[in-house]
């Protein structure tokens, strides 16, 4: 199916999700944060990752896995110091996920990082 036509959008639903990042490989099914549903377009407005470990640094990966099985990194092995945050995508540089595309993320240590994503689901139905 095709992505919705932005000119004919009939609904825009604002969403926010939070995820505790795992230490799985980025290509693992467990690393999926958001998947664009059939006949929907997702506009990602921001991705913020926080290191919630008070002592240790953690490495962060954030990627877009396109439905065509092509993965592209937004951040790759970025060291995030203890008790700090990283803005991967801000409102001034949104990206779109088409049907079947996924936003993926991982941390080098389980339970050391949390990700918050703000996005909109666009539909032309």
How far, CA to CA in Å, does 101 sit from each of 33, 56, 63, 81, 88?
11, 32, 11, 30, 18
Instruction: From the options 3.30.70.890, 1.10.3720.10, 3.40.50.720, 2.60.120.340, give the CATH code of 13-120.
Output: 2.60.120.340
Residue pLDDT tens, the chain, 125 long: 566 677 888 899 999 999 999 887 666 655 889 999 988 999 999 999 999 999 999 999 999 999 888 889 999 999 999 999 999 999 899 999 999 999 999 999 988 999 999 999 998 77
Written as six digits, the tokens of 87 are 């803005």
**0.75 cut: is pTM over it?**
yes
Sequence ranges of the domains in the chain = 13-120
Coil vs helix vs strand at 10: coil
- CA distance linking residue 101 with residue 84, whole number of Å: 29
């Amino acid at each position: 199916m095709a992505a919705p036509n932005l000119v004919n959008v009939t609904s825009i639903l604002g969403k926010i999700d939070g995820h505790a990042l795992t230490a799985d490989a980025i290509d693992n099914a467990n690393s999926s944060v958001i998947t664009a549903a059939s006949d929907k377009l997702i506009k990602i407005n921001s991705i913020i990752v926080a290191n919630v470990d008070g002592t240790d640094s953690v490495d962060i990966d954030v990627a877009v896995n396109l439905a065509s099985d092509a993965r592209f990194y937004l951040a790759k092995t970025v060291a995030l110091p203890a008790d700090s945050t990283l803005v991967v995508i801000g409102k001034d540089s949104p990206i779109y996920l088409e049907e079947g595309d996924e936003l993926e993320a991982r941390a080098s240590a389980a339970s050391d990082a949390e990700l918050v994503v703000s996005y909109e689901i666009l539909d032309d139905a």
